[in-house]
Amino acid sequence: MNNKLYGNLIFELSKKGRKGYSLPKNRFGEYEIPQTLRRAEDAQLPECDEMTVVRHYTNLSANNFGVDNGFYPLGSCTMKYNPKINEEMAALPQFTNLHPLQPTETTRGAMAVCTLLKRALCELTGLADFTLKPFAGAHGELTGLMVIRGYHESRGDEARTKVIVPDSAHGTNPASAAVCGLEILEVKSTKDGLVDIDDLERLVSLEGPSIAAMMMTNPNTLGLFERDIPKIAKMIHDCGGLMYYDGANLNPMLGACRPGDMGFDVMHINLHKTFSTPHGGGGPGSGPVGVRKGLESFLPFVSPYNSGNFAVVMRAYAYILTLGRENVKMVGPLATLNANYIKETLKDVYELPIDGLCKHEFVFDGLKDKSTGVTTMDVAKRLLDYGYHAPTIYFPLLFHESLMIEPTENESKDTIDGFIAVMRKIAEEAKTDPELVKSAPHNTPIGRVDDVLAAKHPITTYKQMINDNN
């Protein structure tokens, strides 16, 4: 295996006896650490001088790609600009030095931030109360479904054990329902990408008394506004179920409409997506859960000692205050404008399976010209060569060559035009030099990896890599 592929490891830079530190000696020329507390054998640590350590990690960090490096149109993930002032607020020592077990009367400031954020979320969503406790979107889904189960059980209605989930839903929806001990009933999408009302009617008439809830994402995973929500909400409510709103991506809704006004009973919000916390690679996150009036008592009890992921809460509050009541209403329209602009400008070269107005994101089904053999994977890899993060690919599963693009509201027209130009260039390359695209990326530290091998035999430790090399 080629070591260059991975860059140098700090262990490979180690030279026996090299040091990048010095410890103070006491007046007898001894280190202060008593003999009894020292290790019998040295720890297996790399030995390097300070410059080598600094350069090693600085160079590694430069291999990262983030929203601060370039355009990051990763659909369904809302990788938007995270204002730097949020970081300053979240890093204030008055907050970061709080201890979870210190007396509540000394944490009033942090509690006020939580209360004020909850109030802002209630206003933005039209719901009555929120808990800030869940640590991610999926965690929020589980919490919200437990609220729903608690509600049904409180009425002695124990037979409601099933949840309707559209086939276009994010994978966490059915997963959360399963973890909550509920059974999943899948409702189909129409060819226009919306919930199929006929299929829903069939499910409701078949399963009515066992339906606990229906989970919906709106705009859905295809970036389309579910026009029939009032009708759907009535069908579900009439059969005794509750409406759950997956608000992971609330961007397009801000300033446009509110889930609470559309008949939803319970929802979660991904603060780390819509309300600007740098995320990716698994964290950090926060998935507050909101409920309509009458369901407040089913929210989890939050002791003053536990307010979820406070730094994310702080950033969200700073973000909302920075925008203010009027500007926050521009988020949705601008996110929608940017997505539609890209879609309309590229649909002559990329296959648009569902035409018409989208919201904050949309899905292409690969290149329009299928004769080149260039796939969505190839296009995504080639984008890396041009300094763009790839869009979400092969999701949603409704199409074979899904390429899901979400520009967010923050990007300037120049940035978006630059991306469009590169997408057109790749479409052209696919015709004139398909091999160039199929073998991309060419300019990144690591070329095309074997996804299957990487997933089946991941190398996760230094030892494993040494063994693999020998």
Ligand X SMILES: *Cc1c(COP(=O)(O)O)cnc(C)c1O
Contacts of 99 (CB under 8 A, 6+ apart): none
Number of Cα atoms under 13 Å in the Cβ half of residue 134: 28
Name the residues that contact ligand X, by CB under 6 A: 76, 136-138, 170, 172, 217, 246, 248-249, 270, 285, 287
In a 13 Å sphere around the CA of 194, the CA atoms on its Cβ side amount to: 16
Q: Which residues contact 31 (CB under 8 A, 6 or more apart)?
A: 23, 25
Considering beta carbons, is residue 312 or 334 the nearer one to ligand X? 312
Residue 166 or 255: which CB sits closer to ligand X?
Answer: 166
Q: Which residue is nearest to ligand X (CB)?
A: 137
How far is the C-alpha of 74 from the C-alpha of 72, rounded, in Å? 6
As measured in angstroms, the least distance from the Cβ of 85 to ligand X is 23
CB of 247 to ligand X, least distance (A): 8
Q: In terms of CB distance, is 125 or 172 closer to ligand X?
A: 172
Name the β-bridge partners of 187: 166
SS3 state at 363: strand
What is the amino acid identity at position 127?
A: L
CB of 278 to ligand X, least distance (A): 13
The full length of the chain comes to 470
Query: With respect to ligand X, which residue has the nearer C-beta, 204 or 247?
Result: 247
Q: Select 223 or 353, whichever has its Cβ closest to ligand X.
A: 223
Q: How far is the CB of 248 from ligand X (least distance, A)?
A: 3
Using the minimum distance from each CB to ligand X, give the nearer residue, 109 or 171.
171
Give DSSP secondary structure letters for 208-270: GGGEEEEEEESS-TTS---TTHHHHHHHHHHTT-EEEEEETT-GGGTTT--GGGGT--EEEE-
CB of residue 266 to ligand X, shortest distance in Å = 14
Min separation Cβ 177 and ligand X, Å: 12
Residue nearer to ligand X on the CB measure, 249 or 338: 249
CA dist 446 → 129, 381, 400, 465 (Å): 47, 11, 26, 16
- Closer CB to ligand X, residue 233 or residue 248? 248
Give the nearest distance from C-beta 102 to ligand X in angstroms: 29
Whole-number minimum distance, CB 77 to ligand X, in Å?
A: 6
- Of the candidates 121, 183, 193, 92, the residue with the CA atom closest to the CA atom of residue 399: 193
User: Are 95 and 383 in contact, with CB atoms under 8 Å apart?
Assistant: no
CB closer to ligand X out of 166 and 353: 166
Cβ contact 133:143 at 8 Å: yes
End-to-end CA distance of the chain: 9
Q: CB 409 → ligand X: shortest distance, Å?
A: 16
